[in-house]
Amino acid sequence: MLKVDNLEFSFKDFQVLSGISFEARRGEFVSILGNNGAGKSTLLKCIARLLKPKSGVVLIDGKDANSFSLHQLSKNVAYVPQRYTTNRITVYEAILLGRKPHFTGLIPSSEDLEKVEMALDIFGLKHLAFRYLDEISGGELQKVVIARAFVQEPKVLLLDEPINNLDLKNQIEVLKILKKLSRQEEILVVVILHDLNLAIRFSDWFIFIKDRKIFASGGKEIITADMISKVYGVDVKVEKHGDEIFVVPIVAAI
Ligand SMILES: Nc1ncnc2c1ncn2[C@@H]1O[C@H](COP(=O)(O)OP(=O)(O)OP(=O)(O)O)[C@@H](O)[C@H]1O
């Protein structure tokens, strides 16, 4: 579904990414992890074609992403940024805008409206449908932005820190929804996360970025205290409780 091959990116002469290669399949939940400034958002933006890599290719379903028209790209890839600005439109209208790549006439089709209704339901936003975006909370807005990407019906859904404004209950709820979407709709979900333990709980595959490169990638077996300590520069323990593993930072008493 997604193949990134030898991607390099620089902001002028400041190299941010080098030799980034990985593949991910339909139906997977992949998390991109690493310290602040490691290049995670830059990688996601290169995949979404918002930034142009210096070299390397991004293949979507075997086709070079550069060969897609913007219209085709928006039917294949949806991107939820870390920060977003809002217009004075309602929650309903904002989500409906996600259907834009599917519009065939001036009036939304019944399918467009059904998808919006479905998204309002899935994301628990029905009661806010006719509120303006500046009249809802930051966490609610975050859900709206994800719901808008969902109705776009992409094959690849890219999300940059989608749970950073949410309380714990909503963090888990949104990750559960994303996981369900990856499984049921066979979408490839690629998410930047900072919470290692939530990433471990929900992801099928992990990509750790450090010093411009992929430091480690793989399934849960790559999560070791040594690897995490090297990536984040913090001493940690990896503890097992039943089938689950947890990363616990070792912090000396203050
Ligand atoms: N527009 C820009 N111009 C120049 N440098 C930039 C620009 N955007 C980001 N950078 C730099 O590129 C590097 C990677 O940034 P990026 O936002 O990809 O990191 P990140 O891993 O997503 O970080 P965070 O976890 O803090 O969001 C950082 O050193 C950042 O300062």
Name the token pair of 114: 């059904």
Residue 139 confidence (pLDDT) = 84
| pLDDT tens-digit readout, 111-144 | 999 999 999 999 999 999 999 999 998 889 999 9
Residue 98 confidence (pLDDT) = 95
Question: What angle (nearest 5°) sits at the alpha carbon of residue 241, between those of residues 236 and 246?
Answer: 30
Residue 104 confidence (pLDDT) = 84
Q: What element of type H or E holds 113?
A: helix 110-122
Residue 42 confidence (pLDDT) = 97
Closest C-alpha residue for ligand 1 atom 30: 37
Residue 221 counted as domain residue: yes
Residue 252 confidence (pLDDT) = 78
From the CA of 12, give the closest atom in ligand 1.
4
Residue 214 confidence (pLDDT) = 97
| Distance from Cα 77 to the centre of ligand 1, integer Å | 22
Q: Which residues is 214 bridged to in the sheet?
A: 209
Rounded Cα–Cα distance for residues 180 and 182 (Å): 5
Residue 132 counted as domain residue: yes
Closest C-alpha residue for ligand 1 atom 28: 37
Give the chain's mean pLDDT: 94
Buried b (16+ CB within 10 A) or exposed e, 110-132: eebeebbeebbebbebeebeeee
For the chain, 254 residues long, the average pLDDT of each consecutive 10-residue run is 96 95 96 96 96 95 93 93 86 96 88 96 95 91 93 96 90 92 93 97 97 96 96 94 91 78
| Distance from Cα 39 to the centre of ligand 1, integer Å | 6
Pocket test for ligand 1, best of 40, 80, 195, 212 (most atoms within 8 A of CB): 40
Residue 55 counted as domain residue: yes
| Distance from Cα 32 to the centre of ligand 1, integer Å | 14
Residues with CB under 6 A from ligand 1: 11, 14, 16, 34, 36-42
Question: Which residue range(s) make up the domain with 41?
Answer: 2-249
> Is the reported ipTM for this assembly greater than 0.95?
yes
Instruction: Please tell me the total count of domains within the chain.
Output: 1
Residue 232 counted as domain residue: yes
Q: What is the CATH number of the domain that holds 157?
A: 3.40.50.300
Residue 254 counted as domain residue: no
Q: pTM here?
A: 0.94
Residue 251 confidence (pLDDT) = 84
Residue 164 counted as domain residue: yes
Residue 203 counted as domain residue: yes
